[in-house]
A and B are shown apart, each in its own frame.
Chain A
């Protein structure tokens, strides 16, 4: 290797990024969190839209079903609360073991 090659190698390897860069790693993790958040929001909006559409289509049938027995109103109220918490994603994922269950289910569905 002559002097020209040495100079070329030195010029090409100059100003290289550091071998360890904690800030870079943190920025990558931030992007992952942002991507997760965007996915969750998109999923929530899709489910909310589908639920609203189903309710709108079946509004009369639901009303008639409740009118037949007033206690059915409580069932609808509980279902609404569960759906609201499910859409936010947070309380359900905070349940112990839910994440592990969801991962196992995901692996089973998509091996």
Chain B
């Protein structure tokens, strides 16, 4: 999944190119924000952390290893930030989530009840399991890519995804 184009962008960003950085943000903001939104359970906090992630990417573009995938690298930064800020962010997120859920409009296609049930079940999962489920089932990463992002063993990620998926399915079944 290595994109030569992304590598060129990173090379340009290392040289201080803001236009290249703009393209990188446009190209990957959706993946990073989706990952953090599902992980934190609060859109505003997630977007704030996503901005911090891209700021870190700009500042530490040299830390990107050329054989890697840029999207994985960005999600890895986001994961480390989320884990580092775990206490304060997640305590506040848990407090605000209920109100936010009710105030958000229903998206087209998905049933509101399913969405709320899945969101609540996702937030009830342990942090690493939630991250693994989000990366594999929402962001479309493979198990090995998710393991690399989370810095954990492949078997652990597979187990997290399997169990997490079951918990989410159960949450939908309970609603029906």
Contact = CB atoms under 8 A, between A and B. Distances in A.
Interface of A: 4-5, 7-21, 24-25, 27-29, 31-32, 35, 103
Label chain A's interface by main secondary structure: helix
A17 B34 contact: yes
A14 B118 CA distance: 10
A16 B38 CA distance: 10
Contact of B38 (A8, A10, A12, A35): A12
Given A13-B138, A103-B15, 14 more contacts: A4-B172, A5-B169, A11-B115, A12-B138, A14-B109, A14-B115, A17-B30, A19-B30, A21-B30, A24-B47, A24-B50, A25-B25, A28-B58, A103-B16
B114 A10 contact: yes
Nearest to A106: B16
Nearest to A18: B30
Contacts, number: 85
Contacts of A103: 15-16
Given A11-B117, A17-B30, A21-B29, A4 B110 contact: no
Contacts of B47: 17, 24
B107 A14 contact: yes
Interface string B57-84: 0110000000000000000000000000
A25 B30 contact: no
Interface string B17-61: 010001001100110011001100000000100111011001100
Interface of B: 15-16, 18, 22, 25-26, 29-30, 33-34, 37-38, 47, 50-52, 54-55, 58-59, 104, 107, 109-111, 114-115, 117-119, 122, 137-138, 165, 168-169, 172-173
